[in-house]
Amino acid sequence: MAAAAIVLPPTPLTPPTYHRIISPSLSLPTNEALPVPVGLLACQRDPLLRELSTSVISCTLQNNPSQAEGAKSKKKASSTTAGTKEKTYEVILHDTVLFPEGGGQPSDTGVLRIEQGVELEVVEVRRVGGHAVHHVRAKDELLLAPGDKVTTILDEKGFSRRLDHMCMHTSQHLLSALLETHLELPTLSWALTTYPTPSYVELPRALTLEEIARIQSLAHTLAYEGRAVHVEVEPLAEDNRPGVATVASGRTVGKALPQDYTGGVKRTVVIDGVDRNPCCGTHLPSLSNLQLFLLPQTESLTRGATSTARLFFLCGPRLHVHLNSSHNLLTKTAGIMSCGAPDVPERVNQAVDERRRLDKRAEELEAELAKIVSAQLLVDPSNETVIKRHYHRNDEPSRALGFLQCIASSCLSSAEVSEKKYCFVLTSSPVSQTSTSVTSVLIVSPDEKLVKMVGDLLKSEMSVRGGGKGTRWSGKWVGVWKDAKEGKLVEEILSRV
Ligand SMILES: [Zn+2]
């Protein structure tokens, strides 16, 4: 039997029931000479729409270009021929598939196709009052005129960005609703962080692991059920006019509208049987495939007398990135530990324990060796008034100064020589040295004046950086330490004091 041809399903479409104007007095403006207000834009009516033909209402040169853009243009103008410098226009269109920032959701980016297929980059869309203002990067001396036909496009890059924002934003509505309904926890604010880091909701308190598991399980059940999402739009009631309450980007506080909003419509995003929440964002038409992952720890925040907690979450493209990187980390670690992934925690534990045991053993051996070294240094065959010695060795840099301190302690505590005067300069260089290698230097003597004197000479004559108080002085010297040069210099300094 011949294999059946695989037919890919068509690109998902937004159901016609998604956008509902629920008031008979409100209708979609059709006059192409006027802009559709923010709240009724094509991107808000149909979040999966990628292209829309529309008309230009106005196009002006950006009056206040950003410093970066200004500097860039200036530099370009001075170094290249006229006409190649970048210009940014502010364009208001009748309608658009590009979402202006709002409700905690960042702006879309995309493309504006003008006549003869010329495509211009839309770097940002901002809401000004009730209008979406497109910031468009133009390459040539070009001005769009009112009435010009153009196409707004959510290109691949722009759609990936939007899809991520939609996944995170709709998940935030779902998460906040579940926290409020099942744990009576209001969302104080939320942040749609930069891709691909986890976003978060800020709550009055941290969640227990059991609560996190419960909320996640409830979210998954609703995703499997494929709960529908739709938007209800109505005229803005008098008591809901901007300015009634302060706006912020959280769910609870988001129940008010931005003070400068003049679009005149109120949008309510509804997750069937779960949540109703005023919001201007673009939301997916369904919870299906929207697996929410809550990071199993909360971050506590204290501001004055109040403390809150951040609960981090992931879904959609960010969850895939997180899974990939977590899997890669685990696989890599399993490879290093030569075991299967499930055995990694135990093997890492074993390695850490082993390391602690070895460190302890090394310290014990170093203490033993330090006693031998100090005893050798304190042997005084010539019966000098002050025994002066330079002792050099090669060690791993991480333990070098520690071991020199160990020798110094051993010298100072040596009971038999308490009567003797001595001054030792102990140095330790790495086994293989380069021009940036660090040699540890330690001076030890029961005579504090002698310590200071030798320290000052090492500083002034050998550029050793360091300092000390009392019976010890420690420092560092950078470069390749040679016995015949640096070693000799130390001995010569010691002979002078
Ligand atoms: Zn929202």
Topology (CATH) of 354-496: Diaminopimelate Epimerase; Chain A, domain 1 (3.10.310)
- The confidence score (pLDDT) of residue 382 equals 77
CB 28 within 8 A of CB 40: yes
255 CA to centre of ligand 1 in angstroms: 9
CA of 224 to the centre of ligand 1 (A): 22
The helix/strand/coil state of 488 is helix
- Cα(303) to centroid(ligand 1), Å: 25
- What is the bridge-based pairing of β-strands 19-21 and 229-235? parallel
Ligand 1 center from residue 451 Cα (angstroms) = 69
Q: What backbone phi and psi angles, to 5 degrees, belong to 181?
A: -70, -45
Is 80 exceeded by the pLDDT of residue 463?
yes
**Average pLDDT of the chain, as a whole number:** 88
pLDDT for 65 equals 47
pLDDT above 70: percentage of residues in the chain: 88
CA 92 to ligand 1 centroid distance, Å? 24
Model confidence pLDDT, tens digit, residues 256-299: 677 778 778 999 999 999 999 999 999 999 999 899 999 988 88
What's the rounded Cα separation, in Å, for the pair 367 and 377?
15
In the CATH hierarchy, which top-level class contains the domain 161-332?
alpha beta
The Å distance, Cα 94 to ligand 1 centre, comes to: 24
Q: 338 alpha carbon to ligand 1 midpoint, in Å?
A: 47
Using the mean position of ligand 1's atoms as its centre, give its distance from the Cα of residue 30 in Å: 27
- Residue 269 CA to ligand 1 center (angstroms) comes to 8
From residue 77, how far is each of 61, 67, 87, 135 by CA, in Å? 17, 15, 11, 21
Tokens at 418, concatenated = 């308490």
CA 133 distance to own-chain centroid = 29
The CA 200 to ligand 1 mean position distance, Å, reads: 13
Q: Looking up tokens 């010009």, which residue turns up?
A: 148
Give the tens place of pLDDT for each residue, 376-424: 998 877 777 889 999 999 998 888 999 999 999 999 887 555 677 899 9
Ligand 1 center from residue 9 Cα (angstroms): 30
What is the token pair recorded at 189?
A: 């604010």
For residue 252, pLDDT beyond 60: no
Looking at residue 80, its pLDDT comes to 34
**Model pLDDT for residues 345-379, shown as the tens digit of each residue:** 999 999 999 999 999 999 899 999 999 999 899 88
Cα 209 to averaged position of ligand 1 atoms, centre (Å): 26
356: CA distance to ligand 1 center in Å? Answer: 51
- In whole angstroms, how far apart are CA 192 and each of 246, 250, 268, 281, 411? 20, 10, 20, 12, 61
What is each CA distance from 398 to 293, 358, 402, 428, 469, in whole angstroms?
41, 15, 8, 11, 23
Structure tokens at 4: 């059946």
Q: To the nearest whole percent, how much of the chain has pLDDT over 90? A: 73
CA of 119 to the centre of ligand 1 (A): 31
Measured in Å, residue 393 CA sits from the centre of ligand 1 at 66
- Give the DSSP H/E element, type plus range, for residue 21: strand 19-21
Q: Do domains 19-160 and 161-332 have the same CATH topology?
A: no
Q: Tell how far the Cα of 37 is from the centroid of ligand 1, in angstroms.
A: 18
Q: Is the pLDDT of residue 85 over 60?
A: no
Is residue 215 within 8 Å of residue 182, measured between CB atoms? Answer: yes
Distance 254 CA to ligand 1 centre (A): 7
State in Å: Cα 281 to ligand 1 middle: 6
Q: How confident is the model at residue 103 (pLDDT cuts 50, 70, 90)?
A: confident
User: What mean pLDDT is predicted for residues 463-486?
Assistant: 94
Q: What's the CA-to-centroid distance between 104 and ligand 1, angstroms? A: 7
Rounded Cα gap, residues 20 and 301, in angstroms: 40
207 pLDDT band (50/70/90 cuts)?
A: very high
Cα(257) to ligand 1 centroid in Å equals 11
Distance (Å) from CA 398 to ligand 1 centroid: 52
Helix (H) / strand (E) element for 496: namely helix 488-496
List, for residues 298-348, the tens digit of each pLDDT value: 889 888 888 999 999 999 999 999 999 999 999 999 999 999 999 999 999
Q: What is the mean pLDDT of residues 107-114?
A: 96
Instruction: Give the pLDDT score at 414.
Output: 79
- Residue 82's pLDDT is what? 39
User: What is the Å distance from ligand 1's center to 169 Cα?
Assistant: 6
pLDDT band for position 213 (50/70/90)?
A: very high
Q: How confident is the model at residue 143 (pLDDT cuts 50, 70, 90)?
A: confident
Closest CA relative to residue 211, chosen from 267, 294, 270, 280? 294
Q: Are 31 and 302 a contacting pair, CB within 8 Å?
A: no
Of 170, 209, 208, which is closest to residue 190 (Cα–Cα)?
Answer: 170
CA of 26 to the centre of ligand 1 (A): 22
Give the span between the Cα atoms of 57 and 54, in whole angstroms: 10
**What is residue 81's predicted lDDT score, i.e. its pLDDT?**
34
Domain regions of the chain by residue span: 19-160, 161-332, 354-496
User: Would you say residue 251 has pLDDT above 80?
Assistant: no
* Closest to 282 measured CA to CA, from 365, 169, 389, 200: 169
* Domain 19-160 CATH assignment equals 2.130.10.10: no
As a whole number, mean pLDDT of residues 147-162 equals 96
Q: Tell me how far the alpha carbon of residue 199 lies from the centroid of ligand 1, in angstroms.
A: 13
Between the CA of 173 and the centroid of ligand 1 the distance, in Å, is: 6
CB neighbours of residue 335 within 10 Å: 10
pLDDT for the residue numbered 255: 53
